[in-house]
Copies of this chain bind each other. A is one copy, B any other.
């Protein structure tokens, strides 16, 4: 089925002038891998690089939605345009489908300076690594000064979100075995700011103490490195927002003064280029498949006549 034609220049102009509908359509083009995507990305490029990207991750139940809502309110109070990408690594549903779950977000649903988008990553090649950076470019070019990428911390998603963000916020709640979780998931390495949410519950002080202790044992205490602060909040009541914003602002200042911001963005762009290049090479392997070359090699591997490495070498030789 041929894709519907798209007036890319008009769509990008409309998104830049603040049309939520145009932004939504551009993100749908990203998710659908529409043929016009290359043209879209070329048109967006000159307008990107302004947004500050916050990654927000944590286990189910720690209060990611309420924390995002609290952050949105704080950035809106500063007069900034805000984008939210809620990425669910376990869901096959995308677009508007998840918005029904996000009841607490409804304070901001009607605010034209706030874009909210739920994206699925399950089933996408590479999960977060493929569609999310491109959706970020759309929101960035549409004038969002802050973009919050919110994702459930399961599997590798929290490491992936850290790879996309300028600042990574790891959210925890008391009494969820946080200490062990933190060590296991490697979040000590990726967090720029720890927020212990639901701090009115028993065990909050212990969670803060455990985290600080673990941070003190790590390798991020050397001079010149950023040592992630640990702050507390009760996001459902907006408590702790000043401390959270202070932590975010300080990290942003440090990113700029230390040159880390540019380094992170270069690394992020290099990853993005690499994944697009790899996808393009994969597509070429796919066309080999259609021409029966890969099928013949697979048959030889199953029969034990060759091994996967030798077969892969033939594939690479055929491509290059």
- Residues on A close to B: CB < 8 A? 37-38, 41-42, 44-49, 89-92, 122-123, 127, 133-134, 137, 154-157, 184-186, 262, 265-267, 269-270, 272-274, 276-278, 280-282, 285, 289, 294-295, 297-299, 301-313, 315-316, 319-320
What chain B residues lie within 8 Å of A127 (beta carbons)? 155-156
What chain B residues lie within 8 Å of A47 (beta carbons)? 304
What chain B residues lie within 8 Å of A37 (beta carbons)? 309
* A8–chain B nearest beta-carbon distance, Å: 12
What chain B residues lie within 8 Å of A320 (beta carbons)? 319-320
* 18 A-B contact pairs sorted by A residue (CB < 8 Å): A41-B307, A47-B304, A48-B304, A91-B184, A92-B184, A122-B156, A154-B155, A266-B298, A272-B301, A272-B308, A273-B311, A273-B315, A276-B312, A277-B285, A277-B313, A278-B278, A278-B281, A319-B320
The reply to whether B302 and A262 contact each other, CB–CB distance below 8 Å, is yes
Number of copies: 2
Q: Which residue of B lies closest to A38 (CB)?
A: B309
The reply to whether B46 and A301 contact each other, CB–CB distance below 8 Å, is no
* A305–chain B nearest beta-carbon distance, Å: 7
* A161–chain B nearest beta-carbon distance, Å: 13
What chain B residues lie within 8 Å of A302 (beta carbons)? 49, 262, 265-266, 269
The reply to whether B274 and A315 contact each other, CB–CB distance below 8 Å, is yes
What chain B residues lie within 8 Å of A266 (beta carbons)? 295, 298-299, 302
* A205–chain B nearest beta-carbon distance, Å: 28
Set B123, B304, B315: member contacting A277, Cβ < 8 A = B315
Whole-angstrom CA separation of A122 from B155 in the bound complex? 8
Interface centre among A44, A133, A137, A315 (most CB of B within 10 A): A315
Set B273, B280, B299: member contacting A301, Cβ < 8 A = B273
Whole-angstrom CA separation of A91 from B181 in the bound complex? 11
Q: Which residue of B lies closest to A320 (CB)?
A: B320
The reply to whether A281 and B156 contact each other, CB–CB distance below 8 Å, is no
* A15–chain B nearest beta-carbon distance, Å: 15
Set B49, B280, B301: member contacting A269, Cβ < 8 A = B301
Whole-angstrom CA separation of A92 from B188 in the bound complex? 14
* A99–chain B nearest beta-carbon distance, Å: 17
The reply to whether A44 and B307 contact each other, CB–CB distance below 8 Å, is yes
Whole-angstrom CA separation of A319 from B289 in the bound complex? 20
| 7 A-B pairs with the lowest CB-CB distances in the bound complex, closest first | A155-B155, A276-B312, A269-B298, A269-B301, A41-B307, A45-B307, A270-B298
Whole-angstrom CA separation of A81 from B262 in the bound complex? 55
Q: Which residue of B lies closest to A308 (CB)?
A: B272
Whole-angstrom CA separation of A316 from B283 in the bound complex? 12
The reply to whether A310 and B274 contact each other, CB–CB distance below 8 Å, is no
